[in-house]
Structure formats: structure tokens, C-alpha cells
């Protein structure tokens, strides 16, 4: 009888553990966001095949890997922004994939195929021009920072806590929201300069890709980012 009770207890515990593991494996806290345009919408500046692979393979992998990596960590109960703000506490896998998920979500949203959203307001243009001397100087700084990024990374226009703007670049999937970032600030514009973002169309010509990027920017969204408190 004693052995029977012990066996029954073991079976119940095993079933409970299996159920818990199963439930945890099924929880997908983070999801691939909806794309607001078709894969071919940004042609000829960003080609359909690149968009498709970038979104469905690369971004999806960051999301899936992040969901796996956070299991059993404090990050399970944090928002994506909270994870980034505390990223030094977590593994490199969480850092890379949380950054990858946030950065790509941001990137899709600051591009558009809609003509009306591509127009920059006089207000925002003046703010940027006053900060960098001229709008053309800003564009040159942005392209330079993107071209100088060794290996893979991102180039950003950020708004700092004193409301000034700065162009910076971060390696890999890091971003200026992370507590480990040398320069912190709120990204209002950003461009992915990983080869996977441009190689199919531009091969090694990152400079050409960065020049093309100006044709697909959703300045309406960039202004919203600037004004967001
Ligand atoms: Fe990317």
C-alpha cells in the first residue's frame, strides 16, 4: 500500500511537471508585429525578396529565440522596453533577441509606401536643421555613421533627455534604450545596416542602400516619435 501511494504521488508530480513545461513552451509572450505594407511596397528602394526574408525569417527568429530565452527568467514578466532598460542583468541571448525584436518593429514602422506620410513637416525639418546646421548635414552625418559601422548594427537619430538630437550607431542588435548603451536616448529614426537588410539588392554597396533609405521614410511616424513623451 505504501509503495502504491508513493507511485501514485510520483505519477501526479510527473504529470504536473509535464503540464507546466508544456504550458510554458506554448506561451509566446512576444509576437511578430503586423507589417503595414506589402513586401513589394518599398520597391525599388528595398526589394520584395529582402523584405520577405527580413520580416519572415530574420525578425521571426528574433521573436522565437526571445520567447525561448526568457523562460524561467525575470524577463518573463517584463515588457520589451523594461527588458531593454535592464538588459545588463540578462544573458547575451536575451540582449541580442530583445534588441532584434524591438529594432525591427521600430524599423518597419518608420518606413512607408504612402506619399502623404513621406512628407516631412516644416516644423520637424526646422528642428533637425537647427540641431545639425542644415537638413543636408544631418543626412550626411546619418549616412556616415551607418557606413562607418563595422560589421553589423544600426544607425539612429535619437532624442536625448535634454531634448537635443544626436546621430549615433550601435553594434549588433543593441540600441540606445539599453542600459549598456554608451549614449542613451529615444530613437526617433533608425536604419538597419546589417547585410541581411540590403545585400540581395545592393551587395556590398551599403552607401547606396543608405542613400535609397531617404525615399521610404515615414516622416509622419518620425515626428510622432519625436513628440511622444
Ligand atoms: Fe535586420
84-127 pLDDT, tens digit per residue, is 999 999 999 999 999 999 999 999 999 999 999 999 999 999 99
The rounded Å distance from CA 58 to ligand 1 centre is 6
Per the model's pLDDT, the better-predicted residue between 170 and 25 turns out to be 170
The rounded Å distance from CA 123 to ligand 1 centre is 30
The rounded Å distance from CA 194 to ligand 1 centre is 6
User: How does residue 229 score in pLDDT terms, banded at 50, 70 and 90?
Assistant: confident
User: Residue 12 pLDDT more than 70?
Assistant: no
Report phi then psi at 176, rounded to 5: -75, 5
The rounded Å distance from CA 139 to ligand 1 centre is 21
The rounded Å distance from CA 146 to ligand 1 centre is 14
The rounded Å distance from CA 191 to ligand 1 centre is 9
Q: pLDDT tens for residues 29-81?
A: 999 999 999 999 999 999 999 999 999 999 999 999 999 999 999 999 999 99
User: Residue 25 pLDDT more than 70?
Assistant: no
The rounded Å distance from CA 53 to ligand 1 centre is 10
The rounded Å distance from CA 101 to ligand 1 centre is 9
219's CB contacts (< 8 A; 6+ apart) are: 117, 118, 119, 120, 121, 124
The rounded Å distance from CA 104 to ligand 1 centre is 6
Assign domain 47-229 to its CATH architecture: 3-Layer(bab) Sandwich (3.55)
Per the model's pLDDT, the better-predicted residue between 41 and 5 turns out to be 41
Q: pLDDT tens for residues 144-167?
A: 999 999 999 999 999 999 999 999
Domain extents for the chain? Answer: 47-229
Mean pLDDT of 201-214: 98
Amino acid at each position: 500500500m505504501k509503495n502504491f501511494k508513493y507511485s501514485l504521488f510520483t505519477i501526479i508530480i510527473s504529470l504536473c511537471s509535464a503540464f507546466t513545461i508544456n504550458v510554458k513552451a506554448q506561451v509566446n509572450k512576444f509576437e511578430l508585429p503586423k507589417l503595414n505594407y506589402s513586401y513589394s511596397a518599398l520597391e525599388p528602394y528595398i526589394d520584395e525578396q529582402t523584405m520577405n526574408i527580413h520580416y519572415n525569417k530574420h525578425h521571426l527568429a528574433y521573436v522565437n529565440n526571445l520567447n525561448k530565452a526568457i523562460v524561467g527568467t525575470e524577463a518573463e514578466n517584463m515588457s520589451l522596453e523594461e527588458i531593454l532598460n535592464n538588459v545588463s542583468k540578462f544573458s547575451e541571448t536575451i540582449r541580442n533577441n530583445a534588441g532584434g525584436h524591438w529594432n525591427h518593429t521600430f524599423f518597419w514602422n518608420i518606413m512607408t509606401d504612402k506619399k502623404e506620410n513621406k512628407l516631412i513637416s516644416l516644423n520637424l525639418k526646422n528642428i533637425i536643421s537647427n540641431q545639425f546646421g542644415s537638413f543636408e548635414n544631418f543626412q550626411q552625418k546619418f549616412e556616415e555613421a551607418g557606413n562607418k559601422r563595422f560589421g553589423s548594427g544600426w544607425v539612429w537619430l535619437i532624442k536625448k533627455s535634454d531634448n537635443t538630437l544626436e546621430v549615433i550607431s550601435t553594434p549588433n542588435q543593441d540600441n540606445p534604450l539599453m542600459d549598456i548603451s554608451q549614449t542613451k536616448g529615444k530613437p526617433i529614426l533608425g536604419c538597419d545596416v546589417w547585410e541581411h537588410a540590403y545585400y540581395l539588392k545592393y551587395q556590398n554597396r551599403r552607401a547606396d542602400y543608405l542613400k535609397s533609405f531617404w525615399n521610404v521614410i515615414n516622416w509622419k511616424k518620425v515626428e510622432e516619435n519625436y513628440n511622444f513623451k
